[in-house]
Amino acid sequence: MLNNQFINKRRDVHKISSRSLNNIIYLFIFVCLPVNFPVWAGEPTYRQGIDIFVETGVDQPDRTPSWYASMVTKPYAPEFEILATRGTQGRYYPYTYAITVKDLVKFHGHDCEGLSHAAACCRIAFDVLFPDGIIDRSVLWGITGTSPCYSDVIAFLTGARLQYGNLGFFKDKKYGHAVILYREDTDVAVLATWKEGVNNIPNESVVLPEKISWTPQVSMREVMELKKVVKHADGKQKPYQVDLMRYYQWKHINDIFSHPLKESYQVKVIDNFKWEEWVDQSKKVSSPHIRTDTRLKNDAYRKKPVSME
């Protein structure tokens, strides 16, 4: 009897010791290794339908039009199936939730042209990064121009943040209206931007070679001439011009989202991607925080549904 109790105690001590050792190893991986080191690079975190079974299409995307998001009714308005972790220290959810441009508008604060362009760029980049359609927020990094429209979209969709060191700004200003999305578990990076023909930023060229093959309802030349006046905000712009520019932008986005996104946006996989070569080092947080809300995403479940173990 006493002998059995002694053996059981030794087993308990062994369990505790093993658990402690695992925690120490885990802590070392996430704290001691450099923050910018993609820990799982090269191997997918999961394989849908093989070692994980995530149900999609179970959250209704908000495609009800409103005065601030009329574009969500258009047939090709971007929507996203997002996979996240449960709580601040949780495992993967077994379901995705849906995001539309309407959700992005609420986060950003207003509907604008840049927000819709950024969402479309992300959508076609995700098509490359996540061919199963499930966007895993726990493995994503992003780079944008300094426009708050673009950086807000990246932050909302990917979970990347400046304080974690996985949200950056392009060092080269010519990429002002482009995004890079990097998936750290597979070590794949994608550059996405608009095609020539829907771009309308004065004196800014398109950084990838493709052009549109359809004709927009709004003249991009007229919009660029109007922006040269309105965006200076120097008091010389007429109230009518301000309203006209907004109208053109609204009409342009609704027009674009009436066509397949690949007719207006383009992507390129970046070979041998290195974060430091693309990011403006002067705009990064010098001592980023360790991201902890995803560290237990692959943690083991209890042996029984009702259990204290």
> How would you class 63 by CB atoms within 10 Å of its CB: exposed for 0-12, middle for 13-18, buried for 19 or more?
middle
The confidence score (pLDDT) of residue 1 equals 47
The confidence score (pLDDT) of residue 33 equals 38
* H-assigned helices in 130-159: 148-158
Maximum distance among all alpha carbons in the chain? 94
Structural contact between residues 297 and 85, judged by C-beta atoms closer than 8 angstroms: yes
Structure tokens given for 27: 């802590």
Per-residue pLDDT of 33-48, as tens digits, reads 334 444 445 578 899 9
pTM of the model: 0.85
For the chain (309 residues), the mean pLDDT of every run of 10, in chain order, is 44 42 40 40 82 95 96 98 93 96 97 97 98 96 96 97 96 97 96 98 96 98 96 93 97 98 98 96 93 89 88
Domains of the chain (ranges; CATH) run 37-283 (3.30.1330.130)
Residue labelled with tokens 């704290």: 31
Residue labelled with tokens 């059995």: 4
Per-residue pLDDT of 203-227, as tens digits, reads 999 999 999 999 999 999 999 999 9
- Measured CA to CA in angstroms, residue 23 lies from 16, 18, 30, 81 at distances of 10, 9, 11, 32
Residue labelled with tokens 């190893």: 25
